[in-house]
């Protein structure tokens, strides 16, 4: 049974890390969620099972975010199940680190395909489909301000996301749809912690005035704010980083 009175979200990369925290936070607010995955359906199924076990509503949808046909099918599936879409959250992304001088250009292309083209494709679908009162939440990074070495190519891809976010907000004039981006700082996810020893993690945790790393739940809280009550915040980048920049 579909329920057109229920708000509905599609979360790309919704099966792990920040994406899963976003799914569970939105579901906790009573939003039905399409949990998107690119390659790990089992993990997406686990996320859906956790949501439904808590009384929420969720389905899995798959596909390469950079493939416009696959994402059109993902949007179609969510609309068929829940009656429409109100919120799209673009957490899907990859991060490959290297000094600019030695970066494998294939890695550059991979990041740009997922982070730039993928975000663009999903935003394009969202701009055509979201109901009035809807919200698009993209993902950037606080490294656009922190400027850590080895993050050059990744940060370039996220700076592009910020640019398209701000322009899309203006292009959707009159549709009552907000478009914003969240820019997390150092956050304790498996992706962030991989390859870092305890000393490096401790040092990063002390950078913020709050003297800890962010958590996926911290970032999900910012997303839920932009996806729900924050109707007068539009065309902005929200730096969710505990004050590191």
Q: What pLDDT, on a 0 to 100 scale, did the predictor assign at position 190?
A: 79
Reported confidence tier of residue 2, pLDDT bands at 50, 70, 90:
very low
Least confident of 12-16, 67-71, 234-238: 12-16
Catalytic residue from among 75, 82, 120, 154:
154
Nearest Cα residue to 137 out of 23, 16, 4: 23
8 A C-beta contact, residue 140 and residue 161? yes
| H/E run at residue 36 | strand 32-37
| H/E run at residue 178 | strand 178-184
Residue with tokens 């429409």: 84
Residue 8 main-chain phi, psi, to 5 deg: -130, 135
Q: Higher confidence at residue 188 or residue 45?
A: 45
Domain 8-187+217-238 falls in which CATH fold? Rossmann fold (3.40.50)
Quote the mean pLDDT of the chain. Answer: 95
Q: What is the pLDDT of residues 75-134, one digit of tens each?
A: 999 999 999 999 999 999 999 999 999 999 999 999 999 999 999 999 999 999 999 999
Both tokens of 27, joined, read 């579901």
Q: What is the pLDDT of residues 174-200, one digit of tens each?
A: 999 999 999 999 998 877 777 788 888
Q: What pLDDT, on a 0 to 100 scale, did the predictor assign at position 204?
A: 85
pLDDT surpassing 80 at residue 222: yes
**Distant-in-sequence, close-in-space partners of 141: CB < 8 Å, separation ≥ 6:** 151, 154, 155, 158, 183, 184
pLDDT surpassing 70 at residue 1: no
For residue 154, indicate whether it is catalytic.
yes
What pTM was estimated for this model as a whole? 0.95
Residue extents of the structural domains in the chain = 8-187+217-238
Spatial distance between the Cα atoms of 153 and 171, rounded to a whole number of angstroms:
27
């Amino acid at each position: 049974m579909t329920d057109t009175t229920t708000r509905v979200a599609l979360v790309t990369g919704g099966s792990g890390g920040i994406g899963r925290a976003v799914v569970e936070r939105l579901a906790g607010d009573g939003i039905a969620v399409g949990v998107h995955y690119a390659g790990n359906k089992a993990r997406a199924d686990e996320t859906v099972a956790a949501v439904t076990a808590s009384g929420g509503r969720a389905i899995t949808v798959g596909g390469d975010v950079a493939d416009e046909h696959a994402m059109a099918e993902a949007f179609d599936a969510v609309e068929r199940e829940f009656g429409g879409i109100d919120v799209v959250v673009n957490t899907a992304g990859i991060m490959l680190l290297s000094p600019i001088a030695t970066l494998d250009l294939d890695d550059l292309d991979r990041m740009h395909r997922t982070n730039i083209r993928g975000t663009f494709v999903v935003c394009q679908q969202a701009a055509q489909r979201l109901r009035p009162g809807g919200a698009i939440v993209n993902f950037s990074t606080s490294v656009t301000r922190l400027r850590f070495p080895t993050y050059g190519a990744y940060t370039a891809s996220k700076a592009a996301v910020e640019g398209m976010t701000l322009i899309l907000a203006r292009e959707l004039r009159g549709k009552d749809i907000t478009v914003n981006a969240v820019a997390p700082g150092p956050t304790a996810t498996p992706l962030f912690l991989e390859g870092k020893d305890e000393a490096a993690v401790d040092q990063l945790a002390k950078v913020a005035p709050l003297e800890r790393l962010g958590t996926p739940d911290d970032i999900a809280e910012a997303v839920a704010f932009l996806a729900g009550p924050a109707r007068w915040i539009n065309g902005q980048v929200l730096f969710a980083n505990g004050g590191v920049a």
